[in-house]
Amino acid sequence: MTNPHKNKPWFKFLSNKYVWVLLFFSTWMIFLDNYSYFDHRFLDKQMDELEDNAAYYKGEIKKDQENIKQLKNSEQIEKYAREKYYMKKDSEDIYIIEFEGDTVEKK
């Protein structure tokens, strides 16, 4: 009994052993390997997030360094203490006014 599809081009292509090896290899590399395409995508996303975090924290470090430079001045220390911790001189009174539904966030 002969195969009726034996002389067709698609049958010749699919019966080639190199095609099967190539399909097996590509399937293995895309889905099953430790260094698969999906693992690389996941790791690339993590790297992008970590690089964004690093850039954010470098900016925050620069801001903090500027604040440290400013706080070397005694007037700036006094201003910071008054704004942040509501400190006052002995002869002063401080009134904190808060409105209901105020949109300003406290830090």
Q: What is the pLDDT of residue 101?
A: 74
37-81 pLDDT, tens digit per residue, is 888 899 999 999 999 999 999 999 999 999 999 999 988 898 888
The residue with tokens 């290899």 is: 25
Distance CA 29, CA 32 (A): 6
Token readout for 32 is: 């099953």
> Measured between alpha carbons, how far is residue 74 from residues 18, 52, 91 in Å?
79, 36, 19
Q: What is the pTM of this model?
A: 0.53
Token readout for 57 is: 């924290």
13-40 pLDDT, tens digit per residue, is 888 899 999 999 988 888 888 888 888 8
